[in-house]
Structure formats: C-alpha cells, structure tokens
Structure 1
Amino acid sequence: MGATGVTAARPHRLSDAALASLGAGRPGPATLAELRRARLSRHLLLLREIAVLARTEDFAALAAAERAAPDRVRELLARPLFGVWAARCLTALRAGATPDSAGTGHLSELAARARIPRPRREDGRQLTAEHDGLRITVRLEDTDPLRAELGLPPTAALDAAEHQRWQTLFAGAWRLLVDRVRPDAEVLAGLLDCVVPVRTDPAARGISATSADAFGAVAISEPADATALAVGLLHEIQHSILNGVQYLFDLLEEPGELGYSPWRDDPRPASGILHGAYAYLTVTRFWRTRRDPLGQFEFARWRAAVATAAGDLRGLTPAGERFVGALLGEVRPWLDEPVDPRVRRLAEGANRDHRLRWRLRNLHVGPADAAALADAWRRGERPPPVTPVLRPAPRRALEASARLDLTHRLLRGLPLDGAAGDLAYVRGDDGAALSAYRKNPGDRAAWAGMVLAGGLDAAPELAAAAYRALGDQERPDPLAMVKWVS
C-alpha cells in the first residue's frame, strides 16, 4: 500500500514487436492494455509525489474510500482528467502553493464519489455507438471544471438538442470508422475515455487538442459532419497513444529542436513534428479508403507529408529509431499507389505551397544579407550565399491558405470564387497564375505562388527580401527576381 492507500502498479514492459506495432499505428489489445496500465501508474506516481509535499486529511479520505471500493477508486484515478489535475497540483505545490490552493480537496471529492453506488447511467453524459458488432461508449465531459485544462476553451454545459447533435454525429462517425478502418476503430474503442466539447475557432475549419497529462481524452469542437468527427478522433487518439509511449520511452535526443512541420504555419519542435506525423498516419489510412476526388487528394497529400516529416527526423534514440522505422514502413508503400493525375498535381502542389509559405513566414533574411542580395542584382551578378535564420514563432499558427480552400471547393464540386492567380492555379492555367501573382509582390502567398506556378526551385524568402531592399524606385519584375534566386 502506498501513502494514499493505493496499491502500486507492477513494472511496465513493451516488447520490440509491441513497440513496432505502435509505430505502425497497429497496436493489439494487449499493447493497448499496457498503455492503460502505464497511464494509471503515472497517475499513482504523481499522487505519491503530491502526498510527500502535502500531508492533508484528503489523502486519508481517499485511502478509506480505496479500502471500501478499490475498483471504483482505481477507475476514478485512471481517468484522463485526474492526470490533468495531478500534474497541475504537483506543479503548484513545487512552486510553493499551500495544499488548499493547489487543490488537494479534489481527492476528498473523489473519495465521496467513490462511496456513492454507481448510477445506472455513468457519471455525466455519454456518447454511444454500435455498428457491425463493434461498440463504443465514452463520456461527454461538458461540466467538469478540469476540462478547461486541455488547452482549448470548453463550451458551456450542453442542452438536450446539442447533446443529440453530438450523439448523431458520433454514431455516423463510428459507422464510417468501422466500415473503412475497423482496426483503427478497435483502437479507438480501447483507448478513448472522454470527449470534451470546445468552442469553435472562426479562423479554423475545426479545432481539436489533447494533453500529455490526459491520456485518452479528446477536446474537439462540434464538427461539420460525421467524416470530420471520424478524422478528428483518429487524429487525436494517436496523440494520446504517442504520449503513452513516451511515458515509457524517450524517442528523441533533442525533442525541442525547431524545424518544419507540414501541418502548421509556425516552426515546431521535433517532438511536435513526430506527433504530427504519427497523428496523420491513421488519418491518411482513413483517406486511403476513399476514391472520390477529395479523398484521393487528402490521401495523396498526407502520405507524402507523413513520409517526409518522419523521414527528416534526426537525433532518434534506439527506441525512436524502431518506432519511426515502423511508421515509415507503414506509410512508404502508399507512395506508389495510383492517384488521379489531376488530383496528384493539386496534392503535390498543396504540400509544396505550404513549405514555400512557411519559409516566407519563418525564415528571416537580415538587413545586411538583403542589402547584399540587392547589390548583386544591381550589378547583374549571381546571388551571394545567404542563410536565412529561423525565427521563433510568436504564437501558435494553424494552416491558413486561400489556395488550399479553393482546391477543396474545386474537389467538392462547389462554385469557385477567389483571387485571379489562385483561380488560375487550381484550374491548371499556370501562365495566367504567374501573370496575376507577379502583379502583387507585397503578398506572401503571391511570392509562393510564383515559385509554385513557375515550377521553379527557389528560396522565395531571398527573392522577397532582395525585392524589398531595392526600394520603390528600383523594383524589378518580381518573377524575374524569383528566377534569379532559383
């Protein structure tokens, strides 16, 4: 028995085969059970550290409840939001907070809840679905104050109509997952503990998040349709799985090293890039089952992004090498699968466009280098060697692209309305696109568009920096400057 009356968990082990199955996004039931046990062990270790720093009657209450209802206490301690509370409480205590202000009273609340006979309906609301013999039941957390700790602002408690909308979307998403990617649906059923509805973000198509401290919890805004919810749940549960793996193994030697991520407009640490590649592995597998234009586009785009991001990771530990190697072994064969040529052009262009816009946003050309570029242009010389500096991101930046939005509308068969260059590009008229983009050199997207539509191999941040350094009186044809730095 520990200081709180909670029995310690046994040591955890994953075989090489189990680690590889996790890397490939295909863990079996025994591996999932080990990750769930690891979650509980982590929570117990956090609780023990809290007990060392804060000796209060709250622990006595929890210990008494554990003696009376051990299984129920274990269940409550294993929940994702308990992990959030424990991490927050321990951080506060280490910073000098009193037990009361750190929130140790939460343990007495858990003890009281454990002593109440379990209601016919589990605590709070539920989402349930069953299809083709596979069933899932999760809590819909819309009242627990701890839900705000998942990183996104939660909604208020849902009314009956809102709950019914979530239930309808959840049932539809479950049918899609079971029919298209049943093994991934089985993983979701084994790990997803609760869904936390969060407020929508007007700047994003949909928003979702997980927390490293809340294994098995997904915070997500109400999706547009069942497909969006299916993709969102697949994406986020992968983050939880990777967090669970990293409870047991270090995968990266330098997890904070910044670099390019195909999923965000800001620089990301290596740990975030790995998370992105792993989350999009199962998302890509879902789109692989679709043969409509949009499904093919998403499959073609993300298979390349996952393979590139994972393949570019450096500084992997031995466990990381095994994990990432299995991930690459899963995704790389997909690169050879046929996709409609028109769709493939748009998918490859979307990936290249993102990287070009990312460079323009995040790679800084200093004043001296910009002046050297401008001087070389005036003299008719080749551009001098310049190494832009990666700027730390001032804030989180989700992908935002008018060209991508137009591409989605085109593939959905919706009416197109947008800037002339973007309209020409998505329709395949590169000449008209170049003509439009070169008229708007103040726009970051236009610089990327010139490289993209021109089929050039250029560093657009160098062309843009030289163009600005030349001043209003000297500004040349921006397309010529892009070709100059190619």
Structure 2
Amino acid sequence: MNPAIPDRALRELGRTEGGTDSLGLLVRDQDTRRLVLLRAVLDAAAAAPTTVCPPPVLDRLYADWSLLEAAERADRAAVRTVLFHPMAGPWVQSLLGGLTSVTAAGPGLPADLTHLTALAAAAAIRAGVRCTARLAPRGGFVSLPTLGAVRVDSGPVELVHIAGEMAIRPAGGPSLVARTQPDGTVTSADPRWLPVLPLPALLPGTGPVPLDDLDPYRTGGGGLPRHGLSMAVRMDDHERKAWAACWSQMEPLLRAGGEHRLIEAAVLLRCVVPLGHPPGSGADAGGAAHCSGTRREAFGAVLSSRPATPVYFASTLVHELQHTKLAALGELVTLHHEDPVPRHFAPWRSDPRPFDGLLQGAYSHLALADYWQRYALGAQRVTPRDMAWAEHARCREQVGAVLPVLAGSAGLTREGRLLVNEMITLYHRMDDCPPPPGHLARAQAYVSTVKVIWQQRNGSRRQ
C-alpha cells in the first residue's frame, strides 16, 4: 500500500466519490505544495542576478514576507485563506519561472514581483493586522486578492489599514475608505471599490466560495481560447445577481446526485471564475453556449460561463471537480507510465487524446453519468427526469467506449489499476437502473456516429 494514499481512499476516488478524509489527503498535499513554492520564491529571488531582482526589489520581498509572518501569528486561518486562494498558484509558478529562467526574464516579472505586496496586504487585512503598502495597478485596477479591487486612473496607490479600516490613496485622486466586516468581506460606499462576491458556504463549517472576477491571475495569460474557453469577464450588478440566484440552488441540486457530490464541492471548491459565453452564443442558450474548465496550477478553481439553468451549473461543478480530484491525485501518486502522444479516440473530443487526457475525460464523464442517473431517479417531474436520463445515457456510453483502452493499458501502476478497476465497478453498477430504451438507443447511435467521424478525420490513429 502506498503510504501517501491508502487503498481505501483510492477505491473511493476510483468510484468518483471520496469522503472528507480521502479528499483531505488531496487538499493537504496541495496546500503543502503551495507553501513550499511560496518559500522557494525567497530563495530564488536571493539567488537571482541583480538585473533580474535588484536589491530594492529583494528588500521589498523580504518586507512582504515579514508582513505575512506577522499576519499569520495574529490569525493563521485568515492568512491561509489568501495564500491558498487558487489564483495564488498561477502567480507563484509564473514568478518562480521568471526568477529561475536561464534566458532573459519575461516582461511579466516586475508585476509578478510586486504582487506579493498585494497578497501580504490582503492577508494582513484579513488578520486584522496594521499595515501600510504601496500597490501598483494592472489594467486600471489595484487588486487585493480574495477581497476585491480598486479602480484607479493612474499610478500606484498607498494603502493604510488600521483596526478594520482601510484607506486607499490613489495618485492625484481622493482617498477611498473601506471597512472590514465580521464575515471577512470589505465594503465601501465608494464606487471605485469592487468587492469579490462571496457565494454562501455549501455546508456548515466550510467557508464561502468567492466568485472572483477581479484577480489578475485568473485567466492564465489569455490562453483560454486554445482550450475552447471564452475569456474571463468582469460582472455588472445584474450578472452578479444572476450568479447568486443560480448558486442559491446548488446545495439541493448537488445533493440530488448523492451526498458525496455536496461534500466534494464543499471540500474542494475554493473559487469560481466567471467566463463569458462562447462567441455566437446567447446567455440563455444551451449546448455550445456554455464552457467550463480547470487549471492544474489553480487547485480549487472552476472557470465557467453562467449555465442556462442551475442544474447544469451543478453538473458543471461535478464535471470539473473530478478534474481537480484526479489532477491532485496524480501529483500525490503515479497512476500510469503511458507516453503523452495524442492518439486515442474520446467521444467527447474531436481530436486524438493522450492517455492521461483519456483517463481524465473518462473519469469526469463517469461522475456525470452517476450524477444524472441519481438525479433522474429522484426527479418528480417528467421533463427534468427525461433530460437527466438523456444526459446519463450519453455520458455512460461515452465512458463505455474508452474503458477497454484504460483497462488494457500495460502502463498503469498498481494504484492506477486500482483506480480504473473501481471506475469499471461504478460503470457496471449503473446497469442496475438502466435508462429508458429510447435514450439508450439514441446515446449508442450518437457515440457510434462520433466514432465514424473521428476515424474519417484522424485516419488510422488508435481508437
């Protein structure tokens, strides 16, 4: 048995489930990795040439680190809320890459270096620690991660935080005053202050989920279109209310897919990043009108356009959190030794997939098939029940088309074999409650048609 992950947890995760103990293993490992990366920033900065990290910049990094330490002594949980925010992951990886690059530092390094000041200030504000900071704007906004942003016209701003009151003095403009509330949010009557919207906690004892449309690292440098995703957006008041209304139904809708769906969302989901709808689609359309994704370096974040209905948002969370789980598990234990060549047929993609992508897709679609089956069995009205059966049948047939490839791989490790065997167990367990024959026939025809098209497009690649 691998000491990093017990077989019991592997079996739970293989069934796309996982209680608080199993999921906690993944969370603690990811959090530890984040702390190690953060500490590596100081070492990398100290070792970097002065042309990359000049002495004044290094001094400021040390001052920011000292402020983080003071804030952690005052309120460890508050500081961890900031440091474990998903968007701190892309930032720290970008910063480390710039500091350790064997070639010239990239143009984003100065902004990456100054972002630690914003993180430290946000941590101090959450912890109730007095601080002063000089913050540089990016794209017309000064960001305080997890809290919000200030709209500025130009230049850096001076921030002073004392006893729950925050004063921000933009260059050449009037000061802005904001106050920290008991729930950790920061509010201000000044329209220049844009708060992060906290979506209510899904379960007692867990924290709210930020709907973060403000963090400068939420989109990964504009590469989302390559993955079929639209760009991140900043929301107006109407859009925030629409998201909040959708979120208000998440607890019962996730629970409709089993208590484990609610638990995994409560444990793993740390922020939602709103995306725009794909080009040519309407806000209330279906199908291609929606897009969503995750980022391996941003553990706990789900990027999503607003789905047409709350139940589709619930299914989006189910789908994307499986990617979160499996990516975290893959960093904790090796699941396979297959090569990264994209050559496999996947019914949910038009292009060939590498083995790891095939495993990721099958895992997330298996969870969707399970979710929609449970939802259909509990639905009282005909229309949502019929919709759920159709979704279940399609997802299950898609998984069935690729499970033989996964099961037949000689590159699976012992842990990977255990995971895939449990996926197969869940797949066959769903036979106990089959969908209506019409839905099954349509799903089978759909997958067969997709496979023929894939073969015509990709020739003799492996299927």
Distance across 2 between alignment mates of 1:58 and 1:197: 33
Deviation (angstroms), 1:88: 1.9
Whole-Å separation in 2 of the counterparts to 1:222 and 1:153: 11
The match for 1:226 is 310
2:16 aligned residue (1, 15, 25): 25
- Residues of 2 paired with 1:12 and 1:58: CA distance? 40
1:350 aligns with 2:446: yes
Aligned equivalents of 1:103, 1:130: Cα separation in 2: 33
Q: How far apart in 2 are the matches of 1:332 and 1:108?
A: 52
Q: Which residue of 1 aligns with 2:405?
A: 312
Match of 1:384 in 2: none
Name the residue aligned to 1:44. Answer: 35
Count of matched residue positions in the alignment of Structure 1 and Structure 2: 356
TM-score normalised by L of structure 2: 0.71
**Cα distance 1:12–1:80, how it changes in 2: closer, same or farther (>3 A)?**
farther
**CA deviation profile, 1:147-167 (whole Å, cap 9, x unmatched):** 111834544321221111001
Match for residue 194 of structure 1? 271
- Bigger drift between 190-199 and 176-185 goes to 176-185
- Aligned partner (choices 53, 57, 60) of residue 59 of structure 2: 57
Contact 2:12 2:18 in 1 (8 A): yes
Is residue 437 of structure 2 the alignment partner of residue 359 of structure 1?
A: no
The correspondence of residues 98-177 of structure 1 with structure 2, limited to 5 A, is 100-101=109-110, 103-117=112-126, 119-120=180-181, 121-122=183-184, 124-128=196-200, 137-149=208-220, 151=224, 152-177=229-254
Tell me if the contact between 1:128 and 1:135 (Cα under 8 Å) persists in the aligned partners: no
1:112 aligned partner, one-letter code: A
Shift of 1:309: 2.1
What SS does the aligned partner of 1:195 have? strand
Instruction: Give the Cα separation in 2 of the matches to 1:136 and 1:218.
Output: 16
Q: Is the 8 A contact 1:80 1:214 kept in 2?
A: yes
* Worse-matched range after superposition: 313-322 or 344-353: 313-322
Deviates more, 1:97-106 or 1:233-242: 97-106
> How far did residue 75 of structure 1 move?
2.7
Q: Give the residue type in structure 2 aligned to 1:358.
A: W
* Larger mean Cα displacement after TM superposition, 175-184 or 259-268: 175-184
Residue 300 of structure 1: how far off its partner (Å):
1.8
SS at match of 1:271: helix
Deviation at 1:213, TM superposition (A): 0.4
Contact 1:129 1:170 in 2 (8 A): no
Amino acid at match of 1:107: L
Structure 1 unaligned residues grouped into runs of 5+:
1-10, 364-387, 391-458, 460-486
Provide the alpha-carbon RMSD of the alignment.
Answer: 2.5
| 1:235 and 1:280 in contact (8 A); partners too | yes
Amino acid at match of 2:69: R
Residue 134 of structure 1, CA deviation: 9.5
Assess if the C-alpha contact under 8 Å between 1:84 and 1:214 holds in 2.
Answer: yes
Asked whether the 8 Å contact 2:257–2:370 carries over to 1, the reply is no
SS at match of 1:143: coil
Distance in 1 of aligned mates of 2:64 and 2:415: 37
> Do 1:173 and 1:230's aligned partners in 2 also have CA atoms closer than 8 Å?
yes
In the superposition, relative to structure 1, how do residues 100 and 356 fare at CA in structure 2: closer, same or farther (>3 Å)? closer
Partner of 1:277: 362
Unaligned runs of 5+ in 2: 47-57, 128-179, 186-195, 281-287, 378-384
Residue-by-residue CA offset, 1:57-102 (whole Å, 9 max, x unaligned): 3442343123322213333221211111112222233334179437
Aligned partner of 1:140: which letter?
L
Q: Which has the higher contact order (CA 8 A, sep 6+)?
A: 2
Question: Structure 1, residues 294-321: CA drift from partner, whole Å, max 9, x if none?
Answer: 3222212212322432331222122211
Offset of residue 129 of structure 1: 6.0
**One-letter amino acid of the counterpart of residue 330, structure 2:** Q
Mapped partners of 2:431, 2:240: distance in 1: 40
The 8 Å contact of residues 311 and 328 in structure 1, kept in 2 or not, is answered as no
> Who is 1:297 aligned against?
390
Deviates more, 1:100-109 or 1:138-147: 100-109
Equivalent-residue separation in structure 2 for 1:134 and 1:357 (angstroms): 49
SS at match of 1:93: helix
Does structure 2 conserve the Cα–Cα contact (< 8 Å) formed by 1:129 and 1:135? yes
- Give 3-state SS (helix, strand or coil) of 1:253's partner: coil
Q: Letter of the 2:258 partner, please give it.
A: V
Contact 1:251 1:320 in 2 (8 A): yes
Output the CA distance in 2 between the equivalents of 1:389 and 1:20: 32
* Counterparts of 1:233 and 1:327, CA distance in 2: 19
Confirm or deny: 8 A CA contact 2:334 2:416 kept in the other structure: yes
Structure holding more helix per residue: 1
How many angstroms apart in 2 are the aligned matches of 1:135 and 1:297? 33
| 2:434 counterpart SS class | coil
2:99 corresponding residue in structure 1:
93
Question: What is the CA distance between 1:53 and its match in structure 2?
Answer: 2.2
Contact 2:86 2:299 in 1 (8 A): yes
Q: Which amino acid aligns with 2:356?
A: S
Report the TM-score, using the length of structure 1 for normalisation: 0.68
| More strand as a share of residues | 2
SS in 1 for 2:277: coil
Change (3 A) 1:255 1:57: farther
